[in-house]
Amino acid sequence: MDNNELNVLKRISKVKAPPFLLTNIEAKIETSKPKRINVGWSIGGSLAFSLIVILNVMVIKNNVSNTESQVTVMAYELYTSSNNILYNE
C-alpha cells in the first residue's frame, strides 16, 4: 500500500451509534437461538419410531418364513408329480 492511501484512512472520523443499537443486536441474538425440543415429544417420537421398526421386523420375519415354506411345498409338489403337464406331453 502506498503511504498516500494510508493517509486517506486517517481522515475517517468517528460516528455516533444509533440509540438502542446494542439492545437490538441482543434481541436478534436471543431470537436466533435454537429452541429446545420438549422432552416428552422426543421420548414419544423415539417410542413411536422403535415400535414401527419392531413391527416391520416382525412382518418381514413372518413373510420370509411363509415364503420359505411355500417354496418348499411348491418344490416338493413339482418334483414328486408324475404327470408331464409341464412339458405339454
Q: Residues 30-55, buried b or exposed e (16+ Cβ, 10 A)?
A: eeeeeeeeeeeeeeeeeeeeeeeeee
Q: What count of residues does the chain have?
A: 89
Domains: count for the chain: 1
The model's pLDDT over 7-62, given as tens digits with 9 standing for 90+, comes to: 888 888 888 888 899 999 999 988 887 778 889 999 999 999 999 999 998 888 87
Q: In whole angstroms, what is the distance from residue 55 CA to residue 57 CA?
A: 5
Residue 44, domain member (yes or no): yes
Residue 81 lies in a domain: yes
pLDDT in tens, 35-46: 788 899 999 999
In a domain, 57, yes or no: yes
Query: Do the domain assignments include residue 48?
Result: yes
- Domain that residue 63 falls in: 37-89
- Is 51 among the domain residues? yes
